[in-house]
Amino acid sequence: MFRLGRPDVLPVDDLGVRKGAQVLRRLQDTPKPKELLVLGERWAPWRTLASFYLWRIADLGKPPVKRSQS
């Protein structure tokens, strides 16, 4: 997406994007691809950038990993 320079791509089947949308919208379940497609219409023509932010939100939305104390 980024390498090709396409600013309006929303990979609705990508689990990271779906998880990010779930955290962002505070949904109980991950949105289905069709639901994400409708939600993403408001981000046009910058859906590629929105995808990047959704991936980051998905990363930050995960609980921290417990480290063993050695």
Q: In this predicted structure, what is the pLDDT of residue 67?
A: 64
Cβ burial 21-42 (10 Å sphere, 16+ → b, else e):
bbbbeeeeebbeeebbeebbee
Evaluate if residue 1 carries a pLDDT over 80.
Answer: no
pTM for this prediction: 0.80
- 34 backbone dihedrals φ, ψ, rounded to 5°: -65, -40
Reported as a single tens digit per residue, the pLDDT across 27-69 is 899 999 999 999 999 999 999 999 999 999 999 876 555 666 6
